[in-house]
Amino acid sequence: MLRQQQRLVEQLRTAGIQDQRVLAVMGQVPRHQFVDEALANRAYEASALPIGYGQTISHPYTVACMTAALLENQSHAPARLRVLEIGTGSGFQTAVLAALVARVYSIERLALLATRAAQRLQQLKLRNVRLQHGDGNHGWPDYAPFDGIVVTAAAKGIPRPLAQQLTIGGCMVTPLDTGQEQVLIRLTRTTAEEFCHELLGPATFVPLLSGVAFGVSP
């Protein structure tokens, strides 16, 4: 493990990440390969970084925290889980999930980011990932239901199709924009019709937008 990466894992542990599986993967996935070369020397800093088109690679603590929250209440071992991610972005969160769970499905609305993430994930030979250029508000009905859903952009409300694509017992970790602030929540589907939610803490995400984009502007 790179010394800087090892230091980052220690920072995550100090900040409260306790899940050993998540810490191990944060020490393995090469974050420097998910940012532009000019920023590679800052890849193991505890910060979000720009990835172009007004978007960011999430803060490493955010990735670790969301991943741990997703795995925590599952009734199956991580290696048996199927997870949907909305907002592939750089592909880093996708790679972290792919190292832990059976299959990852990830949707990105910006074509250029989706293409770049696909190249990076291919280089890392992660074969349990399926990517789509599309609008994540609709989820991915072809592969539903999912044991876990991670949303990496903040919506004003939880898109109904996403909640409906959870397995019973499955959970979604998502930021929500209340108008005043953003909060991170975990929504668990307890029965076919019932959901419960827990507040995980404050959040800072780019907005969840609608539709897809092909050009350079979101």
Residues assigned a catalytic role: 58
- Piece in contact with ligand SAH (CB under 6 A), picked from 16-24, 134-142, 172-180, 188-196: 134-142
- 16 Ramachandran zone, left/alpha/beta (phi>0; psi -120 to 50): left
Q: How far apart are CA 14 and CA 176, in angstroms?
A: 26
If one asks whether residue 67 binds ligand SAH (CB under 6 A), the answer comes out as no
| SS3 state of residue 3 | helix
Q: Which residues contact 12 (CB under 8 A, 6 or more apart)?
A: 23, 26, 46, 60, 61, 64
Q: Which residues contact 206 (CB under 8 A, 6 or more apart)?
A: 54, 55, 56, 153, 154
Q: How far is the CB of 48 from ligand SAH (least distance, A)?
A: 8
Q: How far is the CB of 20 from ligand SAH (least distance, A)?
A: 22
Between 89 and 148, name the residue whose CB sits nearer to ligand SAH.
89
Q: How far is the CB of 102 from ligand SAH (least distance, A)?
A: 19
If one asks whether residue 22 binds ligand SAH (CB under 6 A), the answer comes out as no
If one asks whether residue 136 binds ligand SAH (CB under 6 A), the answer comes out as yes
If one asks whether residue 107 binds ligand SAH (CB under 6 A), the answer comes out as yes
If one asks whether residue 12 binds ligand SAH (CB under 6 A), the answer comes out as no
CB 173 within 8 A of CB 58: no
- For residue 104 the two structure tokens come to 């990852």
Between 74 and 152, name the residue whose CB sits nearer to ligand SAH.
152
- For residue 103 the two structure tokens come to 């299959």
Count of all residues that appear for the chain in the document? 218
Q: How far is the CB of 38 from ligand SAH (least distance, A)?
A: 17
Binding site for ligand SAH (CB under 6 A): 51, 55-58, 86-87, 89-90, 92-93, 107-110, 113, 135-137, 152-153, 206, 208-210
